[in-house]
Structure 1
Amino acid sequence: MPALPAPLKIRDFRLYWLARFAAVMATMGMVVIIGYQVYDVARADYGMSIREAALQLGLLGLAQFVPLALLTPVAGWVADRFERRTVARIANALDMLVALALGWFTHQDALTLPLLFALAALHGVARVFVGPAMAAIAPNIVPAKILPEAIALSSIAWQAASVGGPALGGFLYAADPALPYWTAAGLMGFAILALTPVQPVHPPAIAGTAHPLKQMIEGLGYVRRHRFLLGAITLDLFAVLLGGATAMLPVFARDILKVGTEGLGLLRGAPAAGAALLALYYAWYPLKTNVGVKMLLAVAGFGAMTMVFGLSQSMLLSLAALALLGMLDMLSVYVRSSLVQLHTPDAMRGRVSAVSGLAISASNELGELQSGLAAALLGPVGAVVAGGAAAIGVAGLWSLLFPELRRARTFDPPAPPDPLEKSFLN
Structure 2
Amino acid sequence: AGCALALLVLTLRGPGSPLPIFVVLAIFGIARAFYGPASSSLVANLVPQEDFANAIAWNSSAWQTATIVGPVAGGLLYGVSAEVAYATAAILMLVAALLVFTIPKPAQQTATDKPTMQTLFAGFGYIWGEKIVLGAISLDLFAVLLSGASALLPVYARDILELGPWGLGLLRSAPGIGAICVAVWLAGHPIRDHAGKIMLGFVALFGAFTVLFGVSTVTWLSIAALALLGATDMFSVYIRETLIQLWTPDEVRGRVNAVNQVFVGASNEVGEFRAGTMAALIGTVPAVVIGGVGAVAVAGLWAYLFPALRQVRHLNSRN
Give the TM-score normalised by structure 1: 0.66
Offset at residue 383 of structure 1 (A) = 2.1
Cα distance in 1 between the residues matched to 2:164 and 2:7: 22
Which of 377, 391, 396 is equivalent to 2:300? 396
Provide the residue aligned with 1:268 in structure 2.
Answer: 172
Aligned residues: 317
SS at match of 2:283: helix
Q: Shift of the alpha carbon at 1:195?
A: 2.2
Residue 131 (str. 1) matches residue 36 (str. 2) = yes
Aligned 1:348-367 pairs, distance under 5 A: 348-367=252-271
1:140 maps to: 45
The runs of 5 or more residues in structure 1 that have no matched partner are 1-91, 416-426
Report whether the alignment pairs 1:228 with 2:153.
no
Partner amino acid, structure 1, of 2:208: A
Counterparts of 2:59 and 2:96 in 1: how far apart (Å)? 14
Following TM superposition, by how much is the alpha carbon of 1:235 offset from its aligned partner in structure 2, in angstroms? Answer: 0.3
1:302 is aligned to 2:235: no
Question: Aligned equivalents of 1:403 and 1:345: distance in 2?
Answer: 22
Paired AA for residue 188 in structure 1: M
Aligned-residue offset at 1:211 = 2.8
CA distance 1:316–1:279, change in 2 (3 Å): same
CA contact (8 A) 2:50 2:317 kept: no
- The RMSD of aligned alpha carbons is 3.2
Task: Return closer, same or farther for 1:231/1:284 CA change in 2, 3 Å cut-off.
Answer: same
2:274 match: 370
- 1:354 and 1:165 mapped to 2: Cα distance? 24
- Rounded to whole Å, the distance in 1 between the matches of 2:46 and 2:101 is 14
Unaligned runs of 5+ in 2: none
Q: Distance in 2 between matches of 1:313 and 1:306?
A: 13
| Structure 2 residue matching 1:275: 3-state secondary structure | helix
Check conservation: 2:246, 2:318, Cα contact below 8 A. Answer: no
TM-score normalised by the chain length of structure 2? 0.86
CA distance in 1, matches of 2:25, 2:293: 30
Question: Counterparts of 1:66-215 in structure 2 under 5 Å?
Answer: 93-94=2-3, 96=4, 104=11, 124-168=29-73, 175=79, 178=82, 182=86, 184-200=89-105, 204-206=109-111, 209-215=113-119
**Deviations, residues 253-289 of structure 1 (Å, cap 9, x unaligned):** 4554454444333322211111111111111121101
1:384 maps to which residue?
288
Residue aligning to 1:249: 153
Q: Per the alignment, do residues 324 and 376 of structure 1 end up closer, same or farther by CA in structure 2, a change over 3 Å counting? A: same
Q: Distance in 2 between matches of 1:403 and 1:351?
A: 25
Supply the distance in 2 between the matched residues of 1:253 and 1:99 (Cα, whole angstroms).
33
Aligned counterparts of 1:234 and 1:264: Cα–Cα separation in 2: 30
Instruction: Indicate the percent of aligned positions where both proteins have the same amino acid.
Output: 45
How far did residue 413 of structure 1 move?
Answer: 4.2
Indicate how the Cα distance of structure 1 residues 262 and 166 shifts in structure 2: closer, same or farther if over 3 A, else same.
farther
Contact 1:166 1:268 in 2 (8 A): no
More displaced stretch, 249-258 vs 348-357: 249-258
**Where does residue 186 of structure 2 map in the other structure?**
282
Give the deviation of 1:336 after TM superposition: 0.8
